[in-house]
């Protein structure tokens, strides 16, 4: 039996996180029909899948809020960096206010999308066989939608429980009194390690590259304090889009060696104690492009971390004398008591650079020194096929049946980090070659979301059937993205999802626009105001 084909929608959206909700609400407000398919069973995007112990956001509120419809007026956070449970409640609250759920189908994983050039329509298929047609397709799949689990030899033999942090069981997992191994010490690893260390019987941390984690400086927030601040929230939201990382932290303009050593020390200490990403963003302007300046920052960080660790061997593993990569070349993580965990008698740190994993046994993990680490639970905190994975895991076919995955085999090319040539009427939010994850999520999503909504409106108002990015515009954009990446020391990390080098076989290149949110906003606004220069807009059907 053929699946039923429904009448076309104006816009079909994939994903019900911040991006999808923002798109849906704004499109609906203009009177367009729009629908979301979401693979998970509820709202929240990344906060639906990442429900491991300790999962929380690294952007502080209210900067992490959606600024939409003054939602913030009736919402009060309890923590400066909220955990996933509170973030899920925030999504419920958004639904209460904006009634988004009624236009979302949950437990619907989109597996394919095909552009019909005769009708200028996308035909989207879900894993249950549902087919939907729409004029426009907007992918809001998020930058961390495809978890990566390394294929450890013998993993099928392991008799205990194993989970990736981003595929954590919804009902949770009781690890009290268990022997737990965590592979990976990125943002997720840091969070889960510091959260469970107290409760588990024994924790074995398998670290490949030390994480340059900095203090989150978490804080409880009360209602009164937030109430007092609310009159400046509109200014905060306005300001965040004018800053490099969209977080509202104004960067520091001075170069490191222009400051005296004592001035430097005071500045480092100040940013360190203010917490969050300030130690990175408000650090000296040249630390991410000048190796000598970077070395000074690393030295400060190393000493701070070492002060908190008792065992010199552990100090050397977590904060090595010789940095494995420049400070900030990989995304820093925010920690609360991560380093103190390694002073506990029930916690063991295995440095995989000295002694790698050989295989998984039925009882645990065997390392190259012949030691079998006996485990009841293995946690893979091993990251994602980031930025592109959420898009390429869907079989998306544009003009001439060309697939997006094939298009990007030799490297990513997009126009403005929102569209791709030969994939007409398709947009993506918080994806490749945009400030994605090199910025605060909601800031980037709102900037891109507004641009896409306005573009769709322009098409509708002018009876245009089709918008397609031009190849030459795409090549220009790619050049810009690669050039901006080359200015930073970021390309010096051996395995980094910023560069795709964390995934075996993935093309190694900068996957994001690293030129700053405010600059990105200016560029895309200019393109629209010039009548979508770099795009072909047509009122008739496009054929290859």
Q: Applying CB under 6 A, does 381 fall inside the site for ligand NA7? A: yes
Total residue count of the chain as it appears in this document: 544
C-alpha 28 chain-centroid distance: 26
Q: Shortest gap between Cβ of 203 and ligand NA7 (angstroms)?
A: 16
Subset of 200-219 contacting ligand NA7 (CB under 6 A):
206, 208-209
Among 215, 364, 383, 398, indicate the residue that binds ligand NA7 (CB under 6 A): 383
Contacts of 243 (CB under 8 A, 6+ apart): 249, 250, 251, 516, 517, 518
Residue nearest to ligand NA7 (CB): 186
Q: Quick one: which H or E segment has residue 204?
A: strand 202-207
**Residue 349 vs residues 31, 52, 335: alpha-carbon distances, Å:** 56, 20, 17
Residue 213 or 464 having the CB closest to ligand NA7: 213
Q: Applying CB under 6 A, does 328 fall inside the site for ligand NA7? A: no
Q: Applying CB under 6 A, does 436 fall inside the site for ligand NA7? A: no
Q: Applying CB under 6 A, does 280 fall inside the site for ligand NA7? A: no
Pick the stretch among 67-75, 194-202, 240-248, 380-388 that binds ligand NA7 (CB under 6 A): 380-388
String marking each residue 335-374 x if it binds ligand NA7 according to CB under 6 A: -----------------x----------------------
Subset of 454-493 contacting ligand NA7 (CB under 6 A):
none
Q: Quick one: which H or E segment has residue 292?
A: helix 291-307
The answer to whether the CB of 50 falls within 8 A of the CB of 84 is: yes
Token code pair at residue 89: 């409640």
Q: Applying CB under 6 A, does 87 fall inside the site for ligand NA7? A: no
Q: Shortest gap between Cβ of 85 and ligand NA7 (angstroms)?
A: 17
Q: Applying CB under 6 A, does 188 fall inside the site for ligand NA7? A: yes
String marking each residue 92-131 x if it binds ligand NA7 according to CB under 6 A: ----------------------------------------
Residue 124 or 145 having the CB closest to ligand NA7: 145
Helix (H, G, I), strand (E, B) or coil at 377: strand
Among 67, 125, 134, 185, indicate the residue that binds ligand NA7 (CB under 6 A): 185
Q: Is residue 440 classed exposed, middle or buried when 0-12, 13-18 and 19+ CB atoms within 10 A define those classes?
A: buried
Q: How many angstroms separate the CA atoms of 133 and 121, rounded?
A: 6
Contacts of 415 (CB under 8 A, 6+ apart): 421, 469, 470, 473, 474, 477, 534, 535
Q: Applying CB under 6 A, does 331 fall inside the site for ligand NA7? A: yes
Among 382, 415, 448, 491, indicate the residue that binds ligand NA7 (CB under 6 A): 382
Residue 115 or 384 having the CB closest to ligand NA7: 384
Helix (H, G, I), strand (E, B) or coil at 301: helix
Residue 254 or 353 having the CB closest to ligand NA7: 353
CA angle 257, 259, 265 (to 5 degrees): 105
C-alpha 217 chain-centroid distance: 21
Nearest to residue 143, comparing CAs of 437, 420, 503, 451? 437
CA-based torsion, 244, 246, 252, 256: positive or negative: negative
Applying CB under 6 A, the residues found at the interface with ligand NA7 are 144, 150, 165, 183-189, 206, 208-209, 331, 352, 381-384, 437, 495, 497, 502
């Amino acid at each position: 039996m053929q699946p039923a084909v429904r009448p076309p929608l104006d816009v079909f959206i994939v994903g019900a996180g911040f991006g999808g909700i923002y798109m849906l609400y704004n499109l609906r407000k203009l009177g367009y029909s729009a629908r979301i398919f979401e693979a998970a069973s509820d709202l929240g995007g990344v906060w639906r899948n990442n429900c491991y112990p300790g999962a929380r956001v690294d952007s502080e509120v209210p900067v992490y809020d959606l600024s939409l419809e003054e939602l913030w007026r009736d919402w009060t956070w309890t923590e400066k960096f909220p955990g996933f449970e509170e973030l899920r409640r925030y999504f419920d609250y958004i639904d209460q206010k904006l009634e988004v759920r009624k236009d979302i189908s949950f437990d619907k994983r989109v597996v394919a999308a095909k552009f019909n050039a005769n009708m200028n329509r996308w035909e989207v298929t879900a894993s249950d066989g549902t087919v939907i047609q729409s004029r426009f397709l907007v992918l809001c799949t998020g930058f961390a939608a495809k978890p990566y689990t390394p294929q450890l030899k013998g993993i099928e033999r392991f008799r205990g429980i194993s989970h990736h942090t981003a595929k954590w069981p919804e009902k949770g997992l009781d690890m009290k009194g268990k022997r737990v191994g965590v592979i990976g010490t990125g943002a997720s690893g840091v969070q889960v390690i510091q959260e469970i260390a107290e409760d588990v019987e024994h924790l074995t941390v398998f670290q490949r590259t030390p994480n340059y984690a900095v203090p989150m400086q978490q804080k409880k927030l009360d209602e009164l304090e937030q109430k007092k601040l609310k009159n400046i929230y509109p200014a905060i939201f306005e300001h965040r889009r004018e800053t490099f990382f969209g977080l509202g932290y104004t960067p520091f303009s001075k170069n490191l060696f222009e400051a005296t050593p004592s001035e430097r020390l005071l500045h480092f200490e100040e940013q360190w104690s203010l917490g969050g990403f300030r130690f990175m963003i408000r650090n000296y302007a040249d630390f991410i492009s000048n190796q000598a300046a970077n070395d000074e920052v690393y030295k400060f960080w190393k000493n701070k971390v070492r002060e908190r660790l008792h065992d010199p061997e552990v100090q050397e593993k977590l904060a090595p004398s010789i940095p494995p990569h420049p400070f900030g070349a990989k995304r820093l993580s925010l920690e609360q008591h991560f380093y103190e965990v390694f002073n506990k008698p029930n916690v063991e740190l295995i440095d995989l650079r000295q002694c790698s994993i050989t295989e998984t046994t039925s009882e645990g993990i065997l390392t190259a020194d012949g030691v079998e680490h006996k485990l009841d639970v293995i946690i893979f905190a091993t990251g994602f096929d980031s930025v592109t994975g959420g898009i390429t895991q869907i079989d998306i076919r544009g003009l001439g049946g060309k697939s997006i995955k094939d298009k990007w085999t030799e490297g990513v090319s997009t126009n403005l980090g929102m569209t791709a040539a030969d994939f007409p009427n398709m947009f993506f939010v918080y994806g490749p070659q945009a400030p994605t994850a090199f910025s605060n999520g909601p800031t980037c999503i709102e900037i891109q979301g507004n641009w896409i909504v306005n573009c769709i409106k322009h098409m509708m108002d002018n009876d245009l059937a089709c918008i397609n990015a031009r190849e030459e515009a795409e090549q220009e954009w790619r050049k810009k993205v690669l050039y901006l990446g080359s200015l930073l020391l970021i390309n010096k990390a051996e395995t980094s999802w910023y560069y795709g080098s964390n995934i075996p076989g993935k093309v190694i290149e900068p996957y994001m626009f690293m030129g700053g949110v405010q600059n990105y906003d200016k560029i895309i606004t200019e393109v629209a105001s010039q009548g979508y220069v770099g795009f072909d807009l047509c009122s008739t059907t496009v054929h290859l």
